[in-house]
Structure 1
Amino acid sequence: MWPLVDLIVALGMLVVVPLGLGLLDEAEFRTTRRLWPCFAAPGAVCLWLPRSTLATTLAGLYAVGAALLVGHAAARLRRSGRAALAPAGVAALTALVSPAVAASALVAERAGHRLFGFSPEILALTVPHFHFAGFAAALVAGLLCRTADRPAARFAAYSVPSGTLLVLAGYFVDDWAELLGALVLTAGMTAVAALTWRDVRVAGRDRVTRALLGVAAVVLPATMALALSWALGQATGLPHPSLAWMAATHGLGNAAGFALCSLLAWRRLHAPARARTGPAPQPVRPETTRSATTPGTTR
């Protein structure tokens, strides 16, 4: 199971996070995206090393990159004020802060330290959760809310971040609290899938984009049903999938089927807007270049 989990985490570090940063704001994150491989590469390498000082140091380098994203989140909050607490803003802030939660768990796990009393195994599973539910899913929910500002989109933009945090809180409380978080997160992810299929997919300008969005929309409800069945089994004692099975289905499906496909599709949807800006001396924020039909701003 663990080699697969490590591959999923490496995908999040090396591909998903930089893709997502480009979708949040091309200009704001340009420098951070250029520097990101300097943080993500050591983070990915540390996954394959035994727990040691070297592995912990490499994980710490990744934590530095994640801290830069927290800095961006703080700057956005300071710059936008209450506007940053609108649904799309909350989703974006959640996406920016989530890698730092993942990095903290990674550093502790690589050091063999029981952070807050949690075993290294639980910490290791927290890392992909906050890359894909915390970062990717929250980011996509925010993109949907910016594209179609209506109740379903606003619900997704609030419930995905809150569900992710409730699952984390469940670690500290009990399995029933974690089940509540899984319910909220599943509801938000279902809204993301429905909006992706019904609204964004039809806006795809080419077959590849529509196919990527279709895969993401179909995979997401299936992977979240698995997460819900696992949380329900943990809380009630009913039969539920093993962690190995969850990694191979829920984890891999969310990483490759939902997060990667979604972000690649959104990147393609943003490409015409970027092309229309031309080689301007000062970068133009994506919000000013999108048309009404061009979409903009996920354990």
Structure 2
Amino acid sequence: MEVLVDLVVMLGMLVIVPMGLRLADVPQAGTAVRLWPLFAVPGAVSLWLPRGALATALACCYAAGTLLLALSAPRRVAANRSLAPAEVALATALVSPAVAATALVAERWGYPLFGFTLEILDLTVPHFHFAGFAAALVAGLVHGAAPGRRSAAFAALSVPLGTLLVLLGYFIDDWAELAGAVVLTAGMWAVGLLTWREVRAGTGDRLTRALLAVSAAVLVATMLLALSWAVGEATGLPHPSLAWMAATHGVANALGFALCSLLAWRRLPRRTGAAPRARTA
């Protein structure tokens, strides 16, 4: 499982985050975007080294880049003077890699941060690259494509809320995490439905339509798996193991949802962007 998780994390670091940042077009994150390889490559290398000082130092390089992203979120909110749904979703996307990087640094050092096992910390890294960054970013993009629809606003707000509740559930209990999983699933299904009905239907390009169709369909299965795992953890009912979740839910979300979504959005006209650019003086 560890090798599979590391490959998924590399995809998030080296492909998903920089591709997503270029789609979002956040001027406040310009430095992080330009220098991203200098942060992401050491972070990716750290995954394959034994735990210790060198792996931790390389993970800290990645954490520095994610900190720049996180700091750009309040700057963007202040510049736009807006907490519109798409802006909330984008702010969540900008902050999520920093959560992942914090877990990565602790795991590479071998330190059970906040009492979490190294296995949980290891899985937190891909979770906040994909359920955090990619999901929130795509929710914001979808809102930008269908700004007048209540379901689009619901998606753009419930994905960040669900992500936050899942994070809080780590510290509270399995029932709180289940509540977060329910909210996140509802938001992701709304993203999938809008992607299918609004975004896919609005383009005539066959490859783009196919990528959007895959990304929407994958969410049905992957979020059902997430719900089944959360219900099992809270109630004690039989549920998939973490290894099975990584091999199914994790891989499908990374490739079928995140990668296909961002590849499709790169092919769409810029008028369907995530959120308005920051106002300039």
Q: TM-score range by the shorter chain?
A: over 0.9
Pairs within 5 Å for 1:271-290: 273=270, 290=271
Between 106-115 and 28-37, the greater mean CA deviation after superposition: 28-37
> How far 1:27 sits from its partner (Å)?
5.1
CA contact (8 A) 1:22 1:29 kept: no
**RMSD of aligned alpha carbons:** 1.1
Deviation at 1:202, TM superposition (A): 1.4
With over 3 angstroms needed to count, the CA separation of the structure-2 counterparts of 1:205 and 1:28, relative to structure 1, is farther
Instruction: Write out aligned runs for 1:97-176 (5 A).
Output: 97-149=95-147, 150-176=149-175
Question: What amino acid does structure 2 have at the position aligned with 1:7?
Answer: L
> What residue is the counterpart of 2:184 in the other structure?
185
**1:77 deviation in Å?**
1.8
TM-score, normalising length: structure 2? 0.95
Q: Please state how far the C-alpha of 1:29 moved relative to its aligned partner.
A: 4.4
Q: 1:34 — aligned with what?
A: 34
- Contact 1:51 1:112 (C-alpha < 8 Å) held by counterparts: yes
Give me the whole-angstrom Cα distance separating, in 1, the residues matched to 2:58 and 2:51. 11
- 2:104–2:121 contact (8 Å) kept in structure 1: yes
> Corresponding residue for 1:287?
none
What are the Cα deviations for residues 198-254 of structure 1, in whole angstroms up to 9, with x where unaligned? 110112241111110000000011000000000000111111011111011000000
Please, which runs of 5 or more residues in structure 2 have no aligned partner?
275-281
1:68 aligns with 2:45: no
Deviations 1:103-124 (A, max 9, x none): 0010011011111111111111
1:39/1:61 contact within 8 Å kept: yes
Q: What SS class does the counterpart of residue 238 from structure 1 fall into?
A: coil
Q: Secondary structure at the residue paired with 2:167? A: helix
Deviation at 1:49, TM superposition (A): 0.9
- Looking at structure 2, the residues matched to 46 and 244 of structure 1 have their Cα atoms a distance apart, in angstroms, of 21
Aligned amino acid, residue 173 of structure 1? I
TM-superposed deviation, 1:262? 0.2
1:28 CA drift (Å): 5.1
Structure 1 position 169, deviation (Å): 0.6
Return the alpha-carbon distance in structure 2 between the equivalents of residues 242 and 264 of structure 1. 30
Q: What letter is aligned with 1:99?
A: P
Structure 1 SS opposite 2:237: coil
- 1:230-245 mapped onto 2 (5 Å cutoff): 230-245=229-244
CA offsets per residue over residues 126-182 of structure 1, 9 Å max, x none?
Answer: 111110011000000011111112100000001001101101111111111111000
Number of equivalent positions? 273
Question: In structure 1, how many angstroms separate the alpha carbons of the residues matched to 2:180 and 2:28?
Answer: 32
Residue-by-residue CA offset, 1:13-69 (whole Å, 9 max, x unaligned)? 000000100111165544432210110101111111111100000000000100110
- 2:19 & 2:63 partners in 1: Cα distance? 18
**What residue number does 1:14 align with?**
14
CA shift, 1:296, in A, is 1.7
- Take 1:168 and 1:27, find their aligned partners in 2: how far apart are those partners? 28
Query: Which amino acid counterpart does residue 51 of structure 1 have in structure 2?
Result: R
Residue type matched to 1:94 in 2? T
Tell me which amino acid in the other structure corresponds to 2:172.
V
2:257 equivalent in structure 1: 258
Q: How far, CA to CA, are the matches of 1:121 and 1:56 in structure 2?
A: 16
Residue 279 of structure 2 corresponds to none
Letter in 1 for 2:177: E
State the identity %: 69
Q: Helix, strand or coil for the counterpart of 2:268?
A: helix
Q: Distance in 2 between matches of 1:123 and 1:61?
A: 18
Aligned counterpart for 1:296 among listed residues 258, 273, 276: 273
Assess if the C-alpha contact under 8 Å between 1:103 and 1:127 holds in 2: yes
Q: Give the stretch that moved more between structures: 260-269 or 112-121.
A: 112-121
Amino acid at match of 2:102: S
Moved over 2 A (4+): 26-34
Aligned equivalents of 1:102, 1:259: Cα separation in 2? 16
Distance in 1 (alpha carbons) for counterparts of 2:109 and 2:84: 38
